[in-house]
Structure 1
Amino acid sequence: MNFKKYIHSLLAVAIALAGSSALSSCSEDLDYPPLGYPTSDLKANMTILELKDKYWQPNTDNYCTLVEQNELGEDIVISGRVIGNDITGNIYQQLIIQDETAAVTISVTKSDIYKSFPVGEEVFVKMTGLYVGKYANLFQIGAAGTRTDGSPTTNRMDEKTFDAHVERNGAPEPDKIHTFEFSIAQIQGMKNNVSDQQKYQSQLVEIKDVSFVGGGSETWATQGSSGDNRYLQSASGQQLLVRNSGKSNFCTEKLPAGTGTVVGVLQWFSNDWQFVFRTNADCYGFSAAPTEPEAPSDGLNETFTGGIPTSWTNEAVSGNAKWFYRDRDNNGSAEVTGYNKTPGANGFESWLISPAVDLDKVSKKQLSFDSMVGYSGSGTLEAYILTDVDPTKGTATKLNANNIPQANNSWSDWKNSTVDLSSFSGVVYVGFVYRAETAANYTTYRVDNVVVGEASSTPDVPDQPTGEAKFRLATSVTSGNQYVLVVDGQVGSCISESLSYGRLAMESVAITDNEFTTDMANAITITAVTGGYTLVDSFGRYLSMDSNPSHASTFQLYTSAEQGSMWSISVDAQGIVTIVNNLNSNCNVVRSGTFTNIAPSDIEKYTTFDRPVLYELVK
C-alpha cells in the first residue's frame, strides 16, 4: 500500500468531517493536494521522446517490444499531462499524454477514461512490464498483439494492467499543456522525416485558416460507423485527412462552414497523418454567415476550368449519380454517369443548374454549350430553362437542343448545341439533366463551355499523346502530370482498352542516367483531388478498387471517380513510391512476390513484395 496516499486519504476524510469552515481555515496549511486529488510517488527517469527513440523501428509498420528495467536495474518511468481522452467518443480507448519533449498514445480496453483522466491531469506511467511498438505505424504503449498473419503488433492493454502501471498526480492543470501551431503544408512536409514523426505523432496541434471539405453540408461521420474520413483544406488547396468516429456524440452534426482554426491530435495510420478531434468544440472562428444569393448575372460563360463552381447547383433528385469535375487531355468539363451508382425509385435524375441569369440584360438571348457522350446504355442528357434553382419547383421548359450526341458504345466527338432563348425573359436558370433507368447504365455525358449570350466555339481538345516518350526518375508528385511505374527495370504497361479490370503487365526498358523511353500509352495521370489522388490511364479510365475481396489483387477500371478511386501517394528520395488505396489501406500497388505484373496487393497478407519506382514524363 502507498502509505503516503493512505495518510492523505485519512486526512481528507477527517477534514471533510470537520465541516466546511474548518476546511476553509486549514487548507492553506496542509502539505498535500486539494481534497480528492491523488498523488504518485513515481519519478520520471525517461522522457517520452527518449522512449520513442529507444524503441522506434523506422521500417516496420507493426511490432511490439517488452520494456524491461534500465541499465541500473530500475523501472523505467515516464510522465506527461493528458491532452486527449474519450470524453466525446471520437477518441476511442486511448489516453494521450504529452511531456516537454513529445507525446504518446496509451492504448487500453477501458471506458469513460476521461472521468479519471481529464485534460491537464499529470500522469506517471511505469513502463517496465508494458509493451511499446506500432499499430499501423502509430507508436503507442499497450500490450503484445498478433495480426491475422501471425506477426506481432501493439494492441490495447487490459484495464487491470493499466491501473497497475498508470498513476495520477494532483489536480489537472490544462494551462500547462502546449499546443504546436502548424500549417497543413508543414505537417505534410514532416511525413517522411523520422525525427518529426517521433516528436509529433500524437501531439496536440493547432492549424489556422483552414476549411472543411463539405463544410456546412456533410456530417462529421455516419452514425454507428467505425469511422469516416473527412478533410481539412488550406487556402492553397493542400489537404489533411481528418478521421472521425461514428460513435462520437457529435457525429451527426454538420461540419463547420467557412474558414477558421482547429485544434486536435495529430495521429498516424499506415502511411499518412490523420487529424483527430477531441471534441467538435475545438473548432474556432467558423462563423461565416450564410452566403447571400448572388445577384442575377447579365450573361454566362462557364468553361469548368479547375472544377464545377460552387455557384452551380448539383442535385441528384433520384439516385446518387451527382455531376463531378472531369479533366481529360487538359480540358475540364462537368461529367455524370450511372455506372457503379445506385438508382432511386425513378432511376437516375441528376441536375446541374447554373447561377441565375437575367435574360433581359444579356447581349443575345441564346444558349450555347458543348457535350459529348461515352459508352453504351439508355441514359439521356437534356437542357432546360428553369424559373427556380430547385428543379422540383417553378417551371421547367425543355429546350430543343437537338445536337446532343446519343450513346453508341464509344466516345463521341464534342458537339455544339445552340438554342434560341428569345421566347424567355426575366431571371432564369440553365439546367442540364441526366436521366437513366437502371444501375447498370454505362452512359456517361460531359458538358462544357456553357454560354448565355454570344455563342462560344467547340473547344480545341488536344489529342492524347502517342508514340515513344522520355520518362525521368521522380521523387515527388506534381498534380496533373503523367507517370509510369517501374520494378526491376520493367515498366508497367497499359491494360487493354477492352477490359474493365486487370493488372499492369511488365515490359523491359533500358534505363540510363535515371531516364528511359517507353510508349505514352503506358502513362498514368496522377491528379490531386479531395480525398487523395486519382490514377487515370491513357484511355481515361480510373485505376480503382472495390470492396469485393476477390478483386483485391486487380485494378477495377471506372469511367468516373468512385470511392475506391482515391489513393494516398508518397515518394521517397530514391523514387520508390507508396500507393495505398483509401478504401482498403492494406492494399498497396506493388509487384507481389515473383509475379510479372504491377497491381494492388494486400501487403498484410502477402508480405513479399516490391514497391515500384516512379518516373515522370519529360516535357
Structure 2
Amino acid sequence: MKTLYKYLIALSLIIIMAGCVNDDDYNTPVLDCDGTTLVKNMEPQAIPATSQVQLYADNTAISGDDIIEAYVTSSDKGGNFYKTISFQTLDASFGFSVDVDVTSTFINFEPGRKVLIKLNGLYTQLYNGSLNLGGVYLINGFATIGRLPEADYLTYLNRSCTVVPEETLVQHVTLTQLKNDSYLNKLVEIDNVQFADTSVGHTYYESNNDIGGATNHLLKDATGDTLIFRTTAQAEFSGNAVPNGSGQIRGILTKYGNDYQFIARTKEDIKLNAPRF
C-alpha cells in the first residue's frame, strides 16, 4: 500500500511539473505588462524651449495633460550613463534627454522601450544644442535643469508595454556625418572607425587622464576625421584595453560646449574586429 501511495505521489508531481513547463522557453517566465494607457497628443518637436530654464508652458489647445511619446536610446546598465535617459522619436527625427535622480533605470526603461511623458510640471532648456527636460536646480541663484526626484519621476515618465528592436531605432552614419546637433541623444552606429594610434595600448579610462570623471579618447576614420569617445570611471569596461582593430561602434551622441562626445553604453556596443586601416 505504501508503495502504491509513493507511486501516485510521484506521478502527480510529474504531471504538475509537465503542466508548468513551456516547451518553447521554459526558463523565461511570462509576466503581465502593466504599462500606461496614456496616448500622445503632441510631438516633442513642438515643445517650446530656450537656453533659459523655464517651466513648461501648457498647450492650451490640448485638454488635460500634454503628452509626448518617445523611445529610450541610452542605458545605464554598463555604468557609462548616470542619472540621465536619452530618448528619440520612432522615426529618429528628434532626440532629447530627461534628468532623473535614479540609478539602474535600465530595468524599467531599457533601450527600445516606448515611454509616454507628461510635460505639465516639467522644466525645459536647450542645453549644449539639445532639448533637456527635468526639474529645476539653483546654483548660486541661477536656475539650471535638475534631476527629477525618485519619488516623482514616474509621474512624468510612463512606461508602455511596447519595446521595439534596436535596429528599428539605430541610424548608421559616418563619423563626419555624425558631428551635427540633429543626432544628439539618438541611437547611432558609426561605421568604419578605429581608435587613434595614441589611444591604442591604453585603457578606456585612466585616472591620470581624467577629465570630469572620464577619459577622452579619439575615434578616427579613414579620412583622418576624429571624434571624442568618452568613458567614465564607473563604466563596466573602463579598465579594458582600447581595441586595436576597426569596425563599428554603437552609442549615443552628446555634446559639451562645442565638443561632440560619443558614449558607448556597454562593451557590446564596440565591435572593432577588422584590421586597422
Q: Same fold (TM over 0.5)?
A: yes
- Confirm or deny: 8 A CA contact 2:244 2:272 kept in the other structure: no
1:218 matched to 2:202? The reply is: yes
Per the alignment, do residues 264 and 130 of structure 1 end up closer, same or farther by CA in structure 2, a change over 3 Å counting?
same
Deviation at 1:88, TM superposition (A): 0.6
Which residue number in structure 2 is paired with residue 516 of structure 1?
Answer: none
1:200 matched to 2:189? The reply is: no
Per the alignment, do residues 147 and 243 of structure 1 end up closer, same or farther by CA in structure 2, a change over 3 Å counting?
farther
Alpha-carbon distance in 1 for matches of 2:122, 2:236: 31
- Confirm or deny: 8 A CA contact 2:249 2:269 kept in the other structure: yes
Which residue number in structure 2 is paired with residue 233 of structure 1?
Answer: 220
Secondary structure, aligned partner of 2:73:
strand
Which residue number in structure 1 is paired with residue 158 of structure 2?
Answer: 167
Secondary structure, aligned partner of 1:117:
coil
1:83 matched to 2:66? The reply is: no
Alpha-carbon distance in 1 for matches of 2:165, 2:33: 15
Alpha-carbon distance in 2 for matches of 1:277, 1:200: 15
Secondary structure, aligned partner of 1:202:
coil
Per the alignment, do residues 109 and 128 of structure 1 end up closer, same or farther by CA in structure 2, a change over 3 Å counting?
same
Deviation at 1:138, TM superposition (A): 4.1
Gaps of 5+ in 1: 1-17, 25-33, 191-196, 290-619
Per the alignment, do residues 232 and 241 of structure 1 end up closer, same or farther by CA in structure 2, a change over 3 Å counting?
same
Give the % identical residues.
Answer: 23
Per the alignment, do residues 79 and 138 of structure 1 end up closer, same or farther by CA in structure 2, a change over 3 Å counting?
same
2:269 to 259, 282, 286: 282
1:69 matched to 2:58? The reply is: yes
Q: TM-score, normalised by structure 2?
A: 0.80
1:99-178 to 2 correspondence within 5 Å?
99=89, 100=91, 101-148=93-140, 150-175=141-166, 177-178=168-169
Secondary structure, aligned partner of 2:77:
coil
Secondary structure, aligned partner of 2:35:
coil
Deviations 1:14-38 (A, max 9, x none): xxxx9984897xxxxxxxxx62422
Deviations 1:186-209 (A, max 9, x none): 233x3xxxxxx2x32211111111
Q: TM-score, normalised by structure 1?
A: 0.37
Structure with bigger helix share is 2
- In structure 1, give the amino acid aligned to 2:234: K
Per the alignment, do residues 160 and 83 of structure 1 end up closer, same or farther by CA in structure 2, a change over 3 Å counting?
same
- In structure 2, give the amino acid aligned to 1:166: L
1:368-387 to 2 correspondence within 5 Å?
none
Kindly report the root-mean-square deviation, in angstroms, between the aligned alpha carbons of the 2 structures. 2.5
Alpha-carbon distance in 1 for matches of 2:76, 2:34: 21
Which residue number in structure 2 is paired with residue 267 of structure 1?
Answer: 254
Alpha-carbon distance in 1 for matches of 2:17, 2:88: 38
1:42 matched to 2:38? The reply is: yes
Deviation at 1:172, TM superposition (A): 2.8
Per the alignment, do residues 22 and 71 of structure 1 end up closer, same or farther by CA in structure 2, a change over 3 Å counting?
farther
1:97 matched to 2:81? The reply is: no
Deviations 1:534-563 (A, max 9, x none): xxxxxxxxxxxxxxxxxxxxxxxxxxxxxx
Secondary structure, aligned partner of 1:186:
helix
Secondary structure, aligned partner of 1:163:
helix
Deviations 1:277-314 (A, max 9, x none): 1112112242439xxxxxxxxxxxxxxxxxxxxxxxxx
- Confirm or deny: 8 A CA contact 2:214 2:233 kept in the other structure: yes
Gaps of 5+ in 2: 1-15, 23-29
1:255 to 242, 252, 255: 242
Find the structure with the greater CA-based Rg.
1
Which residue number in structure 1 is paired with residue 170 of structure 2?
Answer: 179
Deviation at 1:134, TM superposition (A): 3.7
Deviation at 1:239, TM superposition (A): 0.8
Alpha-carbon distance in 2 for matches of 1:67, 1:275: 29
Deviation at 1:164, TM superposition (A): 1.3
Alpha-carbon distance in 2 for matches of 1:216, 1:168: 41
Which residue number in structure 2 is paired with residue 425 of structure 1?
Answer: none
Which one is further off, 179-188 or 87-96?
179-188
Which residue number in structure 1 is paired with residue 13 of structure 2?
Answer: none
- In structure 2, give the amino acid aligned to 1:35: L
Alpha-carbon distance in 1 for matches of 2:94, 2:71: 11
Deviation at 1:180, TM superposition (A): 1.6
Alpha-carbon distance in 2 for matches of 1:240, 1:181: 16
Which residue number in structure 2 is paired with residue 400 of structure 1?
Answer: none
Deviation at 1:151, TM superposition (A): 2.6
